[in-house]
Amino acid sequence: MKYMLTLYAAPGAEPAPGTPEFDAMMAEYMALGEGMPGVATFLAGEGLQPVETATTVRKRRDRVETIDGPFAETREHLGGFYLIEAADLDAALRFAAAIPAARYGSVEVRPVMEY
């Protein structure tokens, strides 16, 4: 089954770029691109630009509205995602727990609908 793992963290909660801690964290992210044999297969994933670069689009009665920035005000921001293939939810949760964002924020695990 496919799972989308979305990564959330408060700005400034992770190590600062250019520090040894940041480099170690990034090495962990890169290693997850190999997947976790016997647990989950990595299908896709990327980090996202800062929330300030977002544009929200809404369409109401044939009128399109665009709003700079995120629509929701939250303490934690969506910072990236993983798309994985795992045998079951338990395996997806094991993969999610290995993501550094789980230490600094949260990782939402959600099954992907297959049509």
Cα 101 from chain centre: 8
Q: What is the pTM of this model?
A: 0.85
Residue 87 to residue 92: CA distance in whole angstroms = 8
**pLDDT tens-place values along the chain, 115 residues long:** 999 999 999 888 889 999 999 999 999 999 988 888 989 999 999 999 988 888 888 899 999 999 887 656 667 889 999 999 999 999 999 999 999 999 999 999 999 998 9
- Cα 89 to Cα 55, 69, 100, distances in angstroms: 32, 33, 19
Q: How far apart are the first and last CA of the chain?
A: 12
